[in-house]
Amino acid sequence: MKISNYFSESQVLRDVEISITHYANSFIKGTCCFVLNEGFLTQANKNPCITAVITNKKLAPQVDKNKGLIISESPQKDYYLLHNFMYKNNFFIPQESYLGSNCEIASTAIIGDNVHIGDNVHIGEHVIITSNSYIGNNSYIDSRAIIGARGLHNSVVNKESIFVHDAGGVRIGDNCEILAGAIIQKSYHYEQTVIANHVKIGPQVNIGHGSTIGSYTLVAGSAQVAGYVTIGEEVWVGPSCSIAHNISIGDRANLKIGSIVVNNIQADESVSGNFAYNHIKRIRNFVQLKQ
């Protein structure tokens, strides 16, 4: 859609076609974002996926001349309202419904619209699978799991809380296990929270919106993974671990029980504690303190 299809003529300084709303670091072409400071503006200007920018009069002259430009007294609010307009008018294309063969679906399960369920899938009692979810072949969804739950959105602007519609979905790969009470959140952006093939998610785990879990990774019971976390392949996330927003965990990393992770973790690294850092160093420090 053209940004002039929504914004007034006085607001649109450069009109362009857009396809989605997202942040300045979007990886999808045709993105319209908002910026409130020079840091995010620099990111938006350098990002070829950003087609249009909503910003204020002060920052407007610094926006790349090749990008669409919308002037707003409240860029963040107008961004949310644009997103809701695009959602309600079906600019975000839904996924087609599909039900594979040889599936076991409990009568108490609730399946939303536009859900893909592959072959040989088990869906247990009181499972909820919301719209635009994808379940791969041979996957097991245990009782009371929620696939596509609404995440917590910080959408308060000048003490006004704005309800933002969820345009995203969840993609669960082949041969996965999502155990009892686990929650996989969807994003309000048009993107997927991704659980790759052969992943096992333990009971009462919460996976935040826009996160990606690599293949053969195990996430043990009651772990909390915030939004936009990237976890590599063959990672062990121990029971009751907490991983902060936008953190990256390298392949084959080992997060010991109860780790509070607030920094990126390298591949093959083993960490523990609150806040988590190298496990061997932590044990040495612990021994020294005891002595």
Domain boundaries, the chain: 3-88, 98-283
pLDDT recorded at residue 93: 76
* Spans of the chain, pLDDT less than 70: 286, 289-291
Q: What pLDDT is attached to residue 10?
A: 94
What pLDDT, on a 0 to 100 scale, did the predictor assign at position 283?
76
Of the CATH numbers 2.60.40.10, 3.40.50.300, 2.40.110.10, 2.160.10.10, which one belongs to the domain with range 98-283?
Answer: 2.160.10.10
Please give the model's pTM, rounded to 2 decimal places: 0.90
The 3-state secondary structure of the chain reads: CEHHHCCCCCCEEECCECCEECCCCCCCCCEEEECCCHHHHHHHHHCCCEEEEEECCCCHHHCCCCCEEEECCCHHHHHHHHHHHHHHCCCCCCCCCEECCCCEECCCCEECCCCEECCCCEECCCCEECCCEEECCCCEECCCCEEEEECCCCCEECCEECCCCCCCEEEECCCCEECCCCEEEECCCCCEEEECCCCEECCCCEECCCCEECCCCEECCCCEECCCCEECCCCEECCCCEECCCCEECCCCEECCCCEECCCECCCCEEECECCEEHHHHHHHHHHHHC
User: So what's the pLDDT on residue 291?
Assistant: 65
pLDDT digits (tens, 9 = 90+) for 70-118: 999 999 999 999 999 999 998 887 788 999 999 999 999 999 999 999 9
For domain 3-88, give the fold.
Answer: 3.40.1390
Question: Which residues are part of the catalytic machinery?
Answer: 209
